[in-house]
Amino acid sequence: MDQKLLFLINREWTSSAADRVMALVSSWDVWLPVAAILIILFLIRGHFRERAYVVILLLIVGFNDGVLSHSLKRIIDRPRPHQAIADVRVVDLKKAKPRIFAVFSPAKVKLSKPNLQPVDGRSMPSSHTINMFSVALVSVAFYGFGAAWTFALAALVGYSRMYVGAHWPSDVITSIFLGLGSSLLLLAAFESLWRRYGGRWLPAIYARHPRLFAA
């Protein structure tokens, strides 16, 4: 079932335009500079809510990516689809500097060949998916349902990871629950810490923001 769904997404439901969009959505090289600019703007021009959002977002994404996802990848050691089976479409942007300029060129597509040698399996879980659903949940916690559109972006990123041949459908589905579950627990922990110590550490700010999250 996993392989059949992968082939539908990766080989059947495709087009040259979708190749370009999915490769763009799936590329950290494109989005990291954009994210860095937004973070700097929030920290410099934002108020307490914006700065708290950035700090907690970085802590949660850092934990989910660096500890949770990295540890599970090593424990599960599952090869990516393009490492395990033949004829998976591996879709990527062409090389360009800055990388976002590659979107103006057709995506680079090649068919995989199974790797007969042992590989470092990094398919389960999907860090992209965990990180993006963490971002979406933290955004809704701080800004309410007005930020719910971030879940659509997270879903698009998760779908793109299957489309480009980097992850199995079960990787992405599992990663959604891992990202949401871990982020929810961490958000609850941060809220508890703020209510317990915020009044001692930052009494003036705590008086205006007795709750850390708006939602």
Q: Is residue 213 part of a domain?
A: no
CA dist list (Å): 18 to 2, 79, 165: 21, 25, 13
At 68, list the tokens. Answer: 């949770």
First-last CA distance in the chain: 38
Rounded to whole angstroms, the Cα distance separating 43 from 55 reads 9
More confident residue, 33 or 63: 63
Residue 30 binned pLDDT confidence (cut-offs 50, 70, 90) = confident
pLDDT of residue 100: 72
Spatial separation of the C-alpha atoms in residues 25 and 161, rounded to whole Å: 9
The CA angle 37-159-23, to the nearest 5 degrees, is: 55
> Mean pLDDT, to the nearest integer, of 56-70?
97
**Assigned domain for 211 exists:** no
In a domain, 50, yes or no: yes
Examine the pLDDT at 36 and tell me if it is beyond 90: yes
In a domain, 60, yes or no: yes
Biggest CA pair distance of the chain: 62
Please say whether the beta carbons of 42 and 53 come within 8 A.
Answer: yes
Q: Which DSSP state fits 164?
A: T
Any domain includes 214: no
pLDDT score at 215:
62
Number of domains the chain contains: 1
Range of the domain at 201: 2-206
Residues facing 66 on adjacent strands: none
68 neighbors 126 (Cβ within 8 angstroms): no
For all residues of the chain together, what is the average pLDDT?
93
pTM above 0.85, yes or no: yes
Decide if 84 is inside a domain. Answer: yes
Per mean pLDDT, which of 115-119, 158-162, 202-206, 211-215 is the most reliable? Answer: 158-162
| Inside any domain, residue 212 | no
Beta-strand runs (E) in 62-150: 89-92, 108-111
At residue 166, what are phi and psi to the nearest 5 degrees?
-90, -25
Instruction: For residue 111, tell me if it sits in a domain.
Output: yes
Q: Which residues contact 98 (CB under 8 A, 6 or more apart)?
A: 30, 33
Distance CA 135, CA 151 (A): 9
pLDDT of residue 82: 92
CATH of the domain at 70: 1.20.144
Give whole-number Cα distances, 7 to 11, 15, 155, in Å. Answer: 5, 14, 19
